[in-house]
Amino acid sequence: MLGFLNDLLWNYVLTIVLVAIGLAFTVASRFVQFRYFGRMFGTLVEAFRRQPGHLSSFQALMLSVAGRVGAGNIAGVAVAIGLGGPGAVFWMWIIGLIGMATSFFECALAQLFKIAEPDGTYRGGPAYYIERGLRKRWLAVLFSALLLVTFGFSFTALQSYTTATSVEDAFGVPPLVTGIVLVAVVGLIVFGGVRRIAEVADIVVPVMAVGYVVVTLVVIVMNAGAVPGVLALIVKSAFGLEPAVGGTMGAAITLGVRRGLFSNEAGLGSAPNVAAIAYVRHPGAQGVVQAFSVFIDTLIICSCTACIILLSGVYQPGSELKGIELTQAALAGVVGEWGRSFVSVALMLFAFTSIIYNYYLGENSLNFFSNENRTLFTIYRVLTLVLVMWGSQQDLSTVFAFADLTMGLLALVNLAALVMLFRVGMRILRDYDRQIAAGVRSPVFDAAQFADLDLDRAAWIIEQEPPAATKGGHISPARR
């Protein structure tokens, strides 16, 4: 029954709705993900500077990437290629580019309706923009409950299982030992609060992502002559022009779209919870940042896995190698047997950072219900550690199917809210566009211009940037 409901929800309802909304947002925003593509890279500068008392956009980006990048980027891409052929990669790219616009809107709205905490941090997400923007608390409560069950509980156990299994396969370490180590490390992080979670993601995610990209570049260099042929193969098979490679055009589209949506999470309502925690001068700026997160996940990390598989020569239509085994065999076939261990380590790191991300989403759900009951949060942290230990010892196929279903319902609630808040999202974008067109280097949000909305004014106290001198000693108008 779970399998039937998931197939119905993900193969038909959500695929159609997510793609349609993504296309609508892309056209209405005049392709915001391409217009501001260059500005996305400006966020990387924040890796070398910090804002005292606040979490930066870069830290929010790294935490978001920690959640988006997971087993789906390694095993999921391999499954899509194995069943849908190389053409699935093309449709994964398309859905990633479309999803960047959806992510812009949902994350900009999360920033707009965020609330300030006494310790200087922020909270926000779909539950907050549903309650404050739509004034539908019952729908916000439903969303928070689904978020807690899906990410806070189910996916925490699932990522623990993935990590323990990967370590056992690569190094022969018993799952019990891995479970104990995970409990100890995760415990140190989650009991440190959101600042420590962001600090850990700030370090681990860049190392994790850059390492995977570097190994992929090695594979590309070693097979440089085959790159044009592989790119042509991906495009041709996407439109059914290479039937010999396995997978029909329909299978390529279905699997590419589904794996792309599942991997980058654009529109699912998870990433906005993280997008809201950053200190930014305008909600549109965080929308741009989180669109970049989708690009990193789908256009970079997923493409790395596809390159490794298709350049290795290991992939053959109808091969018995599926999922993580295909990725491991492909890398080992190019760089040697150490490639198998590298894939397992990469999967372990991806899964570990996802555990931290999932914990935060669950905490944010609880915070929506009650931000005063510290005992409740302590119980949740302890329960998280119990789930980490339990998950490392179990085969969680049924739990995974249940989590897929609740995540699909979560997405439907979020997408309904995005459609109803579309005009508000466009107001954010137009204000951001107007300031950029006027030559303002760093647009500033003026809450007074959105006085008709239920905003937390304390969350929009914008600090002055240090003045930048220009010729003649005058201050640039963009910095006033």
For residue 455, the model assigns a pLDDT of 93
Phi and psi based region of residue 270 (left: phi greater than 0; alpha: psi -120 to 50; beta: remaining): alpha
Question: pLDDT tens, 243-258?
Answer: 555 556 666 777 777 7
Kindly state the tokens that stand for 100: 């960047």
Nearest to 418 by CA among 139, 15, 16, 109: 109
Give the chain's length.
480
Give me the mean pLDDT over the 166-170 stretch. Answer: 76
Q: What is the Cβ-side half-sphere exposure of residue 326, based on CA atoms within 13 angstroms?
A: 28
User: Does the reported pTM lie above 0.75?
Assistant: yes
Nearest partner of 157 among 464, 405, 447, 388, judged by Cα: 388
Please give the residue that has the higher pLDDT: either 51 or 330: 330
Return the pLDDT at 25: 95
Q: Return the percentage of the chain with pLDDT > 70, whole number.
A: 88
What pLDDT score does 225 carry?
Answer: 85
In the chain, % of residues over pLDDT 90: 22
378-432: pLDDT as tens digits: 888 898 888 888 888 877 677 777 777 888 889 899 999 999 999 999 999 999 9
Which pLDDT band holds residue 464 (cuts at 50, 70, 90)?
low
Q: Tell me the per-residue pLDDT of 82-131, one tens digit each, with 9 for 90 and over.
A: 777 888 888 889 888 999 999 999 999 999 999 988 877 888 999 999 99
CA angle 364, 380, 269 (to 5 degrees): 30
Q: Would you say residue 30 has pLDDT above 90?
A: yes
User: Mean pLDDT across the stretch 169-176?
Assistant: 82
Q: Any residues with CB less than 8 A from the CB of 24 and at least 6 apart, and which?
A: none
Task: Pick the more confident residue, 270 or 52.
Answer: 270
Which residue from 445, 452, 129, 147 is spatially nearest to 286, judged by alpha carbons? 445
What does the pLDDT read at residue 396? Answer: 66
pLDDT band at 23 (very low <50, low <70, confident <90, very high): very high
Partners of 123 in beta bridges:
115
